[in-house]
Copies of this chain bind each other. A is one copy, B any other.
Amino acid sequence: MYIIIVYDINTKRVNKVKSLLRMYLNWIQNSVFEGEIKPTQFKELKIKITEIINKDEDSVIIYKMPPTYKPEKTIIGIEKSPIKNIL
């Protein structure tokens, strides 16, 4: 499945989450990762995120795409990572 993760995390914890996400997904832009992930990895990742963040302060949102669907992406301006289809 293809997922997009956006997050708003306290600076004390954000680098730890960023390093974790790098192991599973592609960094796209400030506070945004995306990529293909297996259901087992997805489950594992959610648990690990929960272990790092402060659930009363931090926010992580995961958008799950339908099976086999990779979202059509439009970039306006600069593209900060190699995964793209430039407008």
Q: How large is the interface on A (under 10, 10 to 19, 20 to 34, 35 or more residues)?
A: 35 or more
Q: Are A73 and B61 in contact (CB under 8 A)?
A: yes
> Whose C-beta in chain B lies nearest to the C-beta of A72?
B64
A25 at the interface (CB under 8 A from B): no
Closest to A61 in B: B75
Q: Does A77 touch B at the CB level, under 8 Å?
A: yes
CA distance A56 to B79 in the complex (A): 9
Residues from chain B with Cβ under 8 Å of A74 in the complex: 46, 61-62, 64
In the assembly, what is the distance between CA of A79 and CA of B55, in Å? 10
A6 to chain B, nearest CB (A): 5
A65 near B61 with CB under 8 A, answer no
